[in-house]
């Protein structure tokens, strides 16, 4: 569309940005242009305004260019492209609002729980062991420490929207998480197939391991005793048609893909739609429903994506893609590029 505009008006370059203010969710341009001679707001029906620019000859008819910019804003092509992008932006904003409140609440409760655990520790040192008073204080201390773990999850949700695109290795992060689960969940078998020499991805190591850890924890917890979790990681190429199936903000091009398939009961359609984008939504007893919301926020911030394939009775497969840290990437293995949806 932008190339056609340049051809029609003799422009050297053109571009558009949505929204005009704040972080760009959609940015398309034929070339980088710091101070274009023609700039116009994009009034998009039902959406915040965007901006349109073009490097045009000085004698161009500005009124006609404005009409052309308005035509771009209302074009079916932009509407089709912007629809899912705008929906992702609304989801991200809703989670951002929830995360802001969660961070404030967690900070206040941290102070409360630290006071409780501090005085409980002093009391336990002074009370005789194996007495009712000692046992009661120990139970209170244990409850407060569980509360501190919940606060830690709230902090993860609060900070998950901060992008830290430092390079990290998926293979190493997966190896650490699998080793942890072998010890903590020995009744679930984990089969792992990780391609050799995977390139680094653009998310710092702690955040990468948190994402993979939360996803693997959910797969293990969903699987029955003696169940199976299958884990694969490979380099894929995302085509434009692939992007519509993802939650998050992946772009076209090479990514590292991780698939995690469990042997659990699967998810109904409503749960599948809500599980990543609604904090505190959970299908598990005694769970708080924060870990997958954290995963979504971190992937959105780092321009990654996640897909869910699940149906009652046939388990759940999570497909997550991470953008590469380096511009230069190795050639994809023949026949190993990705398809559109999770199989």
pLDDT, tens digit, for every residue of 247-304? 888 888 999 999 999 998 888 777 777 777 676 667 665 556 577 888 888 888 888 9
Mean pLDDT, residues 103-124: 89
Q: Max Cα separation, the chain?
A: 91
The tally of CA atoms less than 13 A away on the side-chain side of residue 112 is 13
Distance, in Å, from the CA atom of 160 to the CA atom of 290, rounded to the nearest integer, reads 11
Convert the pLDDT of each residue in 183-214 to its tens digit: 888 899 999 999 888 999 999 888 899 899 98
To which H or E segment does residue 322 belong? strand 316-323
CA dihedral 191, 193, 199, 201 (to 10 degrees): -30
Contact 208, 168 (CB under 8 A): yes
Distance, in Å, from the CA atom of 215 to the CA atom of 318, rounded to the nearest integer, reads 8
Least confident of 58-67, 80-89, 245-254, 313-322: 80-89
ω into 19 cis (within 30 of 0): yes
Distance, in Å, from the CA atom of 78 to the CA atom of 73, rounded to the nearest integer, reads 7
Extract the tokens encoding 59.
Answer: 């004698």
Alpha helices, H only, the chain: 2-9, 62-73, 76-126, 132-159, 170-184, 205-222, 269-274, 291-301
Mean pLDDT, residues 114-143: 93
CA dihedral 207, 212, 214, 219 (to 10 degrees): 170
Contact 174, 258 (CB under 8 A): yes
Q: Which 8-state DSSP code applies to residue 99?
A: H
pLDDT higher than threshold 80 for residue 86: no
Distance, in Å, from the CA atom of 267 to the CA atom of 229, rounded to the nearest integer, reads 16
Beta-strand relationship, 201-202 and 167-168 = antiparallel
Mean pLDDT, residues 143-169: 82
- Residue listed under structure tokens 């999850």: 153
Short-list 292, 237, 239, CA closest to 95: 292
């Amino acid at each position: 569309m932008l190339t056609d505009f340049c051809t029609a008006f003799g422009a050297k370059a053109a571009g558009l940005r949505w929204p005009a203010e704040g972080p760009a969710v959609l940015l398309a341009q034929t070339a980088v242009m710091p101070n274009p001679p023609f700039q116009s707001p994009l009034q998009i029906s039902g959406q915040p305004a965007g901006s349109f620019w073009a490097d045009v000859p000085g004698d161009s008819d500005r009124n006609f260019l404005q009409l052309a910019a308005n035509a771009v804003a209302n074009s079916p092509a932009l509407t089709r492209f912007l629809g899912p992008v705008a929906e992702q932006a609304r989801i991200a904003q809703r989670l951002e609002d929830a995360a802001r409140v969660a961070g404030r609440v967690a900070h206040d409760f941290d102070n409360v729980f630290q006071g409780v655990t501090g005085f409980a520790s002093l009391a336990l040192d002074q009370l005789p062991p194996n007495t009712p008073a000692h046992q009661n204080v120990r139970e209170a201390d244990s409850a407060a420490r569980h509360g501190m773990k919940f606060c830690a999850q709230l902090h993860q949700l609060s900070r998950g929207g901060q992008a830290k695109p430092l390079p990290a290795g998926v293979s190493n992060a997966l190896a650490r998480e699998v080793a942890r689960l072998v010890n903590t969940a020995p009744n679930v078998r984990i089969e792992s197939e990780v391609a050799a020499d995977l390139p680094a991805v653009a998310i710092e190591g702690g955040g990468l391991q948190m994402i993979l850890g939360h996803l693997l924890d959910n797969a293990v917890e969903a699987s029955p005793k003696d169940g199976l979790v299958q884990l694969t990681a490979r380099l894929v190429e995302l085509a434009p048609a692939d992007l519509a199936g993802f939650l998050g903000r992946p772009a076209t091009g090479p990514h590292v893909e991780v698939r995690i398939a469990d042997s659990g009961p699967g998810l109904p359609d409503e749960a599948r739609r809500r599980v990543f984008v609604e904090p505190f939504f959970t299908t598990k007893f005694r769970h708080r429903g924060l870990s997958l919301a954290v995963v979504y926020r971190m992937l959105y911030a780092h321009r990654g994506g996640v897909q869910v394939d699940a149906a009652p009775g046939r388990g759940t497969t999570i497909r997550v893609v991470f953008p590469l840290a380096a511009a230069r990437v190795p050639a994809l293995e023949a026949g190993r590029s990705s398809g559109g949806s999770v199989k």
